[in-house]
């Protein structure tokens, strides 16, 4: 009887393994890197984390102004679900979060053109670090405003594959 039980268990494991998808059998290559992007008066952190095998990078444009995507990465468990399937890019915009600024601008200097140009530099950095990936923007609140400004600029539309605007 013991032989029959062992044979049945072995057969069950073989059948279950045959039913599993090929994707489930291949471990996902993980990435977790910190990069610094320089633009004008700011040196901005860019954290890349998640499934390096994915061809999609979800670039988080945080709320604020003044909030931090990097702090979201450090403190939030909900992003783990996205990191299983995609590379998440957490970028602290100029004058926000962990960005290092040589000087803080006046209110008159804070216009969306600064953020648009900084975002171009971030996209270029991601393309250098992870060539061939499709970038999808994910804007939230203030980040949604930055996103809306960016995607309505015709000359920049070749820099991304898609966008999500969450409450922006």
The DSSP annotation for 57-119 comes to EEEEE-STTT--HHHHHHH-STHHHHHHHSEEEEEPPTTSTT-EESSPPPGGG--HHHHHHHH
Of residues 12 and 154, more confidently modeled: 154
Report the alpha-carbon angle 53-56-62, nearest 5. 125
Question: How sure is the predictor about 147, in pLDDT bands with cuts at 50, 70 and 90?
Answer: very high
**Of 68-72, 125-129, 141-145, 162-166, where does mean pLDDT reach its minimum?**
68-72
Mean pLDDT, the chain, integer: 81
Confidence of residue 13 (pLDDT cuts 50, 70, 90): very low
pTM for this entry: 0.78
Segment 52-76 shows an average pLDDT of: 85
Pairwise pLDDT comparison (94 vs 4), residue with the higher score:
94
> Phi-psi category of 8—alpha, beta or left, where left has phi over 0 and alpha has psi -120 to 50?
alpha
In whole angstroms, give the CA distance from residue 30 to residue 14: 28
Q: Distance between CA 55 and CA 53 in Å, rounded?
A: 6
Q: How confident is the model at residue 9 (pLDDT cuts 50, 70, 90)?
A: very low
Instruction: Give the residue among 167, 147, 150, 153 at the shortest CA–CA distance from 60.
Output: 147
């Amino acid at each position: 009887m013991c032989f029959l039980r062992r044979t049945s268990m072995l057969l069950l494991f073989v059948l279950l393994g045959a039913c599993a998808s090929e994707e489930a059998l291949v471990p996902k290559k993980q990435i977790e890197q910190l990069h610094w992007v320089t633009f004008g008066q700011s040196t901005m952190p860019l954290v890349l984390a998640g499934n390096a095998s994915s061809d999609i990078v979800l670039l988080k444009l945080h709320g604020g102004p003044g909030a931090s995507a990097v702090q979201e990465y450090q403190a939030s468990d909900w992003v783990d679900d996205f990191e299983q399937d995609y590379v998440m890019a957490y970028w602290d915009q100029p004058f926000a979060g962990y960005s290092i600024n040589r000087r803080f601008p006046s209110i008159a200097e804070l216009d969306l053109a600064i953020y648009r140009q900084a975002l171009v530099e971030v996209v270029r950095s991601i393309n250098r670090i992870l060539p061939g990936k499709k970038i999808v923007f994910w804007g939230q609140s203030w980040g949604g405003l930055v996103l809306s400004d960016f995607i309505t600029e015709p000359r920049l539309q070749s820099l991304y594959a898609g966008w999500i605007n969450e409450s922006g």
